[in-house]
Structure 1
Amino acid sequence: MKKFILSAVAVFSLTFAQAQETGENPGFDTGDMFISGSVGYSTTKNPDDSKSSNFNIIPRFGYFVNDFFAVGAQLGYSKNTAEDSRGRDTVDNSTFEVGVFGRYYLLPGKRFTPYGELNLGYGHTKDIFDNKVNGLNIGFMPGVSYFLSNNFAIEASVGILGYSSAKPDSDGAEATKRFDFGIDTNDINFGLIYKF
């Protein structure tokens, strides 16, 4: 089903893009600004009546300092909850994040352009027991952007090379450190950009 939905989105996007008749060249130029982001929600109900849900929203803003390079900032909020078969909460985590990023576009004035993104973020998580964790992450991911019209583009990023550190907010706690590297179908992220 996931492959069918992704295929349908790709076919619709390409068809829509080919139908666009404009006098301007799509793509990015110095001084362009854009907004993008992602929203996600999922819920799972198990045979034993336990259930879980996940929600996240991440708005982003970017500015092109020259034709090839954009800098930007993002905010993020996510919430994960779970209940056991008797309806008792077993997980209730809320995370707030703030971050900055830089992107280098290989073909900025073109309808289709690959890019590389370096990002740095800070996050704060609070769980059901009022425990708090502070985290720092840095990552690099490759992606592609395709303009559907002069102002709208779809983008996809694949894989990640990253490092993160999470430390409980308590005396004497030690940080948990993690290194990620991989290209996997679970690491494919899609988004929509509005350029202005």
Structure 2
Amino acid sequence: MKKLVLTLALVFGMLTANAQFFVGGQFGLTYDGDTENTTFRIAPEFGYAFNDAWTVAGSIGYTHMDNYNSFYIAPYARWTFFNQGIIGLLVDGGFGISTGKHKGFDSETGFEIGFKPGLAFNLTENFSLVAHYGFLGYRDKYNGNSVSGLSLSGNDLSFSLYYKF
């Protein structure tokens, strides 16, 4: 029994020796003059980097438009497959669940499952800027958006700032 506990402690120690927690997220405020629609979005993220290649994380977000409110939660795993200097190429694979309501209508629940490619800029040892563009997977009424396959719309562009500690 002592050997098993010692072995598990050693394995856990090796896995977490280079690990780092991080916090960050997204914030957005836009105004569309044609439709006179203001959109506000906040999505804090939190995660745990096992090493330079693998991370598990999650995002909790809220979106408000003039007649629409949405809340979502989206856990994911990140694989950074290329790291050279301050640049890293990555892909996030995960799923998300959302609930949204247009004023005067019933609320609707949606989900997504898929991959989001991205580019990381490691600004300092503690700060990173990550940009994602595109989505490959399936969305059904997720934040009011449904798609199957590859999506390269402006809605699939996001920027996040992370602090590692």
> Taking structure 2 as the reference length, what is the TM-score of the superposition?
0.78
Alpha carbons of 1:140 and 1:130: their partners in 2 closer, same or farther (altered >3 Å)? Answer: same
Q: Give, in angstroms, the shift of residue 99 of structure 1.
A: 1.4
SS at match of 1:73: strand
Count matched residues. Answer: 147
Name 2:54's counterpart in structure 1: 69
Match of 1:41 among 14, 21, 29: 29
- Distance, in Å, in 2 between the alignment partners of 1:182 and 1:130 is 27
Q: Tell me, which stretches of 5 or more residues in structure 2 are unaligned?
A: 1-16
Which stretch shifts more, 157-166 or 67-76?
157-166
Name 1:134's counterpart in structure 2: 109
Contact 1:74 1:98 in 2 (8 A): yes
Contact 1:99 1:120 in 2 (8 A): yes
- Distance, in Å, in 2 between the alignment partners of 1:73 and 1:192 is 14
Q: Give, in angstroms, the shift of residue 110 of structure 1.
A: 4.6
1:114 pairs with 2:89:
yes
- Distance, in Å, in 1 between the alignment partners of 2:130 and 2:120 is 4
Residues 28-107 of structure 1: pairs in structure 2 closer than 5 A = 30-46=18-34, 51-81=36-66, 92-107=67-82
Q: Give, in angstroms, the shift of residue 156 of structure 1.
A: 1.3
For the pair shown, the structure with the greater C-alpha radius of gyration is 1
Q: Give, in angstroms, the shift of residue 66 of structure 1.
A: 3.5
Alpha carbons of 1:177 and 1:79: their partners in 2 closer, same or farther (altered >3 Å)? Answer: closer
- Distance, in Å, in 1 between the alignment partners of 2:50 and 2:25 is 20
> Taking structure 1 as the reference length, what is the TM-score of the superposition?
0.66
Alpha carbons of 1:102 and 1:150: their partners in 2 closer, same or farther (altered >3 Å)? Answer: same
Alpha carbons of 1:183 and 1:132: their partners in 2 closer, same or farther (altered >3 Å)? Answer: closer
Question: Identity over the aligned pairs, expressed in percent?
Answer: 27
Name 1:172's counterpart in structure 2: none
Alignment-mate amino acid for residue 117 of structure 2: P
Name 1:15's counterpart in structure 2: none
**Superposition RMSD on alpha carbons, in Å?**
2.5
Higher strand proportion (structure 1 or 2): 2
Q: Give, in angstroms, the shift of residue 109 of structure 1.
A: 8.3
SS at match of 1:55: strand
Q: Tell me, which stretches of 5 or more residues in structure 1 are unaligned?
A: 1-28, 82-91, 168-175
For residues 5-27 of structure 1, what are the alpha-carbon distances to aligned partners after superposition, in whole Å with 9 as ceiling and x for unaligned? xxxxxxxxxxxxxxxxxxxxxxx
